[in-house]
Structure 1
């Protein structure tokens, strides 16, 4: 049982923006999987919250800041602007989830090693149950310099493993493939 008040689920879609996923691993498949989850959430009347990153490298209004063409928020869906990796830091996300009575967050988006990781841990640390869409997040290879790099696929696999096996008191976390994710109408 969740330690967070509420009894609803929300889908949180983070940073699926043109400039964020331009060079991302399995970009097209991940965007398609997010679209599939989005369709299911909408059909089940599950709230969808879009989180959009903006900073000096990704200026609001720029072409790279825009959502990818395949995924667009409906006008009635909530949008949150952020400037930090975690979608919870210095944003109204927590207040909006509380207002909606959400205690379970389904998370998808980019970039796995930065904003998805920080948002996933942020949700768990704030008492939410969490489901990470296993094939609904991506990133680019991480260049460490001196010929060293971490392949994006390994970064995705690492976060999926962590979110599968983490244990927080009173919270449930899971990793579920987009095709297997089910929402129930409120």
Structure 2
């Protein structure tokens, strides 16, 4: 009987673990709603560079990128950032740090610790310009960091140009968060990285259906 109760206890803990992990994942990946903006009072643009950190931009290995693909996408982001600076369009660099306990545990065990507190790769990868604003988020939608809403409001930004990674996760979640608030969203397709291009194309189609523009 003691063995039975031990096994039963382990099974219950496993079920509870899975339930809580699913809850954390849902919270992490669900876009936010937020207060709608008055687009008529937001004539300006901003360029968002999402999650281009050393942890997420390495080449090769289990979680890395194919070298030529990464090079082309990074060059496209760099060109967009340089053009934005020249046109006096704010460049906003967004970094991701996983903080949900079970997600952090799973990444420590199976994801080489990328993107968790204490990682040496949380720094931004190379950019040819100094960002005008930087913020850190812990969920996919960049609008979960209230600093973003505040900066965009202060600078009367109504149109967002999205670049970065991963298209199927933080880029698309940020795009939905922006659309939910009434922003105009332009996605620079050649400046977005995705490990699953087919899935990213499905997200793009859904975003275009909501009014996002792919450039």
Please say whether Structure 1 and Structure 2 have the same fold, judged by a TM-score greater than 0.5: yes
Q: Does 1:20 align with 2:59?
A: no
1:61 to 1:47, Cα distance in 2 relative to 1, 3 A: farther
Structure 2 counterparts to residues 13-162 of structure 1, below 5 A: 13-22=49-58, 23-24=64-65, 26-55=69-98, 56=104, 57=113, 58-60=115-117, 62-69=119-126, 71=127, 74=130, 77-140=132-195, 152-162=196-206
The change in CA–CA distance for 1:155 and 1:28 in structure 2 (over 3 A counts) is farther
Structure number with the bigger relative contact order (C-alpha 8 A, sep ≥ 6) is: 1
Mapped to 1, the partners of 2:118 and 2:78 lie a distance apart of 23
TM-aligned CA distance change 1:139 to 1:28, over 3 Å? same
Structure 1 segments (4+ residues) deviating >4 Å: none
Question: 1:100, CA displacement in angstroms?
Answer: 0.5
Q: 1:163 touches 1:175 (CA, 8 Å); kept in 2?
A: no
Please, what TM-score do these two structures have when normalized by structure 2?
0.67
Q: Unpaired segments of 5 or more residues in structure 1? A: 141-151, 168-172, 177-186
Aligned-residue offset at 1:63: 2.8
Q: Displacement of 1:61 after TM fit?
A: 5.9
Partner of 2:213: 174
- TM-score norm. by structure 1 comes to 0.76
2:110 equivalent in structure 1: none
Q: CA RMSD in A?
A: 2.0
How far apart are residue 73 of structure 1 and its match? 5.2
Q: Counterpart of 2:109?
A: none
Change in 2 beyond 3 A, CA 1:108/1:86:
same
Gaps in structure 2 of 5+ consecutive residues: 1-36, 59-63, 99-103, 105-112
The alignment of Structure 1 onto Structure 2 pairs a total of residues equal to 157
Q: Which has the larger radius of gyration?
A: 2
More helix by share: 2
